Amino acid sequence: MDTDRDKSISMTDISRMAGVSVATVSRIINQNGRYSAETERRVRDIIEKYHYTPNMAAKGLKTRRTNFVGILVPDITNDFFGWIVREIQNGLRIHGYMAFVCDTDENEEIERQYISMLGAVNPSGMIIISGNTSELGNGLGDLPAIYIDRAPVVGAGEVTVIESDNYGGAKLAVQELYEKGCRRIACIRSARVISTYSSRYSGYRDQLELYGLYADGRLDLRVDEITFQAARQAVEELLDSGAEFDGIFGTADWLALGAVEALKGRGLRVPEDVKVVGFDDISLASLSTTPLTTIRQKTDVLGRTAAEEIVKMMQGSPDWKHRILVDVSLIRRETT
């Protein structure tokens, strides 16, 4: 039936051509010693000649481990995550790992599906960027796992998480607003309970308190979706409500951008009438109508560190769970 489906040769073919046993070929390929230089040369020549590549399925079946790592990402259309994914992949690639990048579109059902599918392909590790996941264990057992950005709801110290200094960043944002004269500062955040946003909100509250400012409940905007549109609408409603404010801290750039849009749409000037600070520093932040002042997250450090850590864990390093904090910085542009 198979006409010539697989041109690729197997270890058996090589062993035959080299006149040695498959065991020897295996040892050579995995550099496990116990073979002569002479034999090695002969085998390697053949490997070279036929472009032999080991069959990962067979290898994985036998060793019960793969060179796959699963990456769960909530929104691949957001370049913030795109940058992180790129960096992770660079880190993984040099160690020979391949990534199943799974875009969950912030949807728990899809996330569940991916987790189940990942369970079947037996990845050696997982990097979860900002997922909903509180349990995860469901399909993936006790796989090495790293969380970036959003920590799962389980007890602290239970997992390894790499995150930006969300709390500190929020304080920086409020500080900038305050120093530029704002005294009534609103905050837009996700209505869902997500550690990232909670931390930023805490930073916002604490910094206000530091200035002896009262955090008016009406200025605490919560949106169901972390999108431009949702933020714009929320701010328009705030405007309609007649509440007074002179600054807005958007806990994500898309939210801040939506806020700016709402403000301008109502004839308010940014930054003259209202100042705005975002969080993340996505590409659009610097290119939008009014370039956005924001808190930059180091996507490269976040991604690179995650890759390094997961590789370590997959290679057997005792994975004592820990937390890595990455610092952030204020990028001052034209909305303040």
Partner DNA sequence: GTGAAAGCGCTAACAG
Partner DNA sequence: CTGTTAGCGCTTTCAC
Dihedral of the CA atoms 270, 167, 216, 259 (nearest 10)?
A: 30
CB of 113 to a second copy, least distance (A): 6
How far is C-alpha 76 from the geometric centre of its chain's CA atoms?
10
Total interface residues for a second copy by CB under 8 A: 55
Residue 17 interacting partner from a second copy, DNA, none (CB closer than 5 to 8 Å by kind)? none
The answer to the question of residue 315 lying near DNA (CB under 7 A) is no
Nearer Cβ to a second copy (117/325): 117
The answer to the question of residue 58 lying near a second copy (CB under 8 A) is yes
The answer to the question of residue 137 lying near DNA (CB under 7 A) is no
Maximum Cα–Cα distance across the chain: 86
* Interacting span for DNA (CB under 7 A) from 31-39, 111-119, 133-141, 308-316: 31-39
CB of 254 to DNA, least distance (A): 43
CB of 100 to DNA, least distance (A): 19
Nearer Cβ to DNA (43/208): 43
The answer to the question of residue 6 lying near DNA (CB under 7 A) is yes
Nearer Cβ to a second copy (101/324): 101
CB of 67 to DNA, least distance (A): 11
Residue 51 interacting partner from a second copy, DNA, none (CB closer than 5 to 8 Å by kind)? a second copy
CB of 301 to DNA, least distance (A): 33
Nearer Cβ to a second copy (7/34): 7
CB of 22 to DNA, least distance (A): 4
The answer to the question of residue 331 lying near a second copy (CB under 8 A) is no
The answer to the question of residue 240 lying near a second copy (CB under 8 A) is no
Strand order of the β-sheet with 185-190 is 220-223, 185-190, 247-250, 275-280, 293-296, 329-331
Q: How far is CA 179 from CA 67, 171, 213, 250, in A?
A: 50, 12, 13, 17
Question: Which residues in this chain contact a second copy in the complex, by CB under 8 A?
Answer: 5-8, 51, 53-58, 60-61, 64, 66-68, 76-79, 82-83, 85-86, 89, 93, 96, 98-103, 105, 110, 113-114, 116-122, 139, 141, 228, 257, 261, 283-284, 287-289
